[in-house]
Structure 1
Amino acid sequence: MRYAAIDIGSNAVRLLIADVVKHNDATSFKKNTLVRVPLRLGDDAFLHQEISPKKAEDLVKTMIAFSNLIDVYKVNDYMACATSAMREAKNGQDIVKRIKEASGLDLEIVHGQREANIIYSSHIEQNIDNTKNYLYIDVGGGSTEISLFSAGKMQVSQSFNIGTIRILDNQDKEETWNEMKQFVVQNTRKFKNVSGIGTGGNINKLYKLSEEKDGAPLSINKLKALYNHLNSYSLKDRINILGLNPDRADVIIPACEIYLTVMKWADVKSIYVPSVGMVDGIIQTLIEKNS
């Protein structure tokens, strides 16, 4: 079986095509093709509450291209989800209709809790140590999803309108930060020794830059040092000297700030970075739907 996942985020739009592998009783998937297009829908959505005609056009073209790839790869099933930017855009549903007409693809605008559930359906916590407590932090362009796992089970989960594009556009609100702090502090103080699990493109990049060996957690001190190092460069130098992609070089700083802040609130000393994201969760959701 071959499945496709489309994630329309606030910073980038992604297509993952994956091959489903069955071995004994276990079902897993192998990534076949990943395409990422940095459309930055969040800039429009958070500042003007709608997607501009130009960006809407670019999104429709991208979805036509994705539809063609899904066709050529002979994909058995797919799922397309749009998150924070499309949730907030007044013309979000109109764009969903345009995408359906132009590409034939059905697109679902998911609410924050469903987004969190999809991300966590990749069951990362099961691969680490389910006797431990984990704070799962997923940072996107428009929102941050936080969940607490204990004894391998999700205890509590919430989505907050704090994200990298939102911060860059000065659209993050103090009361949302306070709400997130309250949620983190209240829910982690009853657990001892909470470890972090971080997902999202920025933490994946930070982990690569840290040169930690695969599977080893990233300490809060090392993450802080990385943040200070990156922040000491101008945006231009982060692109030209450090070699970061232009659409990564700016968002990586606020992303780092979110991870560090949440870790500090929860007294988390280190964070595991399993290199998965929304698209992996979508594939896992498709596997569960079709099994």
Structure 2
Amino acid sequence: MATMNKRVAVMDLGTNTFHLLITQGGINDYTVLEHEHIAVRIGEGGINKGTIQPEAFARGLATMQQFSRLIDKHHVDRVRAIATSALRNAGNGQDFISQVKELTGIQIEIINGDTEAGLIYEGIKASGCLSANNTLIMDIGGGSVEFILGNNEGIIWKQSFEIGAARLMDKFHKTDPIPQASIVELNAYLEEKLQPLFDAVDQHKVDTLIGSSGAFETFTELIEKPKKKDFRLKDIRNYSFSTGELISVTDAVIASSHRDRASNQAIIPVRVDMIVVASLITRFVMQKLNINNVAMSTYSLKEGVLATELAV
């Protein structure tokens, strides 16, 4: 039986952003006490070299100390810190984990891609946007991209691919705006790397793609902020895209310069450059799988971890 006043802190330590979510309450009725997103960029300069660079290492330690102070302030009962692709693959990842433990007492858990995909599914399910129909969930991280095929009854297939936005940007987005030749190379790379996804979808009819937070939140803001100046992403849990609008904003992002994106209020700083390859992955998957129904959930891995914690 879950304790109704249990305070839980969940940290999702991603390649680009470290997230902290502190809640109080039960599984279907909790209050958010803190929700922090810090652009640590732990993969910067080293994502494809398998090492955390000194500046990124220092930013990560400082952020974890900041999170520790917030956790202490709220007298949290249970703490989970989950690390994914960048720390999973960094040669000095264990050194980072040891220093965080020494400085803050927080024990970071490194999870594999399969576990990560399962927790993302739990987050999407908790947001209430799954149905009895088979849906493809996509979570574009900095280090990896998770695909989950399933419905509100459970997971049919899932896989994590080490083709995250920071990795793709490092490989293909070296000139801005991104040249057409680089887009062709990127699409050929995705065609090769994502064959297990195509095989899975061939066996199960899928007509809807749900994007898990991240870049899909930016697509939502790019569409809605010009329409409603008072639009606030935190007021919504799910969003259904008009296909035409999604194609229009991703076309504009792909053709844009760094200056264009940096001056756009709908694009947060950590996504200014990675939103280009995120747009290209999204468009590639839509076209390859012939999916026109696309939605967004603001829930992702950290809400999946929270759901599993509150169910205990």
Matched, 1:247 2:270: yes
Task: Note if contact 1:181-1:265 (Cα within 8 Å) is conserved in structure 2.
Answer: no
1:35: how far off?
1.2
Matching residue of 1:39: 40
Given the two structures, how large is their TM-score scaled by the length of structure 1? Answer: 0.89
Q: Out of 198-207 and 147-156, give the one that drifted further.
A: 147-156
Size of the alignment, in residue pairs?
A: 285
Residue in 1 that maps onto 2:69: 68
Counterpart selection for 2:21 from 9, 16, 22: 16
| Bigger mean CA offset, 214-223 vs 128-137 | 214-223
List alignment gaps of at least 5 residues for structure 1: none
The structure 1 residue matched to 2:205, chosen from 184, 192, 196, is 192
Cα distance in 1 for partners of 2:124, 2:75 equals 27
Cα distance 1:126–1:191, how it changes in 2: closer, same or farther (>3 A)? farther
Native 8 Å contact 2:114 2:160 kept in 1? yes
Are residue 50 (structure 1) and residue 55 (structure 2) matched? no
Q: Which residue of 2 aligns with 1:276?
A: 299
Q: TM-score, normalised by structure 2?
A: 0.83
Q: Is the deviation greater in 154-163 or in 232-241?
A: 232-241
Give me the identity figure in percent.
28
Matched, 1:2 2:31: no
Q: 1:30 to 1:46 in 2, by over 3 A?
A: same
Superimposed CA distance per residue, residues 7-49 of structure 1 (whole angstroms, 9 cap, x where no aligned partner): 1111111111122236xxxx34332211111111122432331
Cα distance change of structure 1 residues 88 and 174 upon mapping to structure 2, 3 Å threshold: farther
Q: Residue 83 of structure 1 aligns with which residue?
A: 84
Counterpart Cα distance in 1 of 2:255 and 2:288: 25
Which structure 2 residue ranges, 5 or more long, are not aligned?
A: 1-5, 173-184
| Change in CA separation of 1:94 and 1:216 when aligned onto 2, cut-off 3 Å | closer
How far has the Cα of 1:125 moved from its partner? 7.6
Cα distance in 2, alignment partners of residues 135 and 31 from structure 1: 28
Residue identity matched to 1:251: M
Query: 1:35 & 1:72 partners in 2: Cα distance?
Result: 14
CA distance in 2, matches of 1:99, 1:265: 42
Deviates more, 1:39-48 or 1:166-175: 166-175
1:49 maps to a residue whose letter is: G
| Structure 2 Cα separation of the partners of residues 58 and 178 of structure 1 | 35
SS where residue 49 of structure 1 aligns?
coil
Do the aligned partners of 1:120 and 1:281 also contact (CA within 8 Å) in 2?
A: yes
Letter of the 1:102 partner, please give it: L
Aligned: 1:203 with 2:216: yes
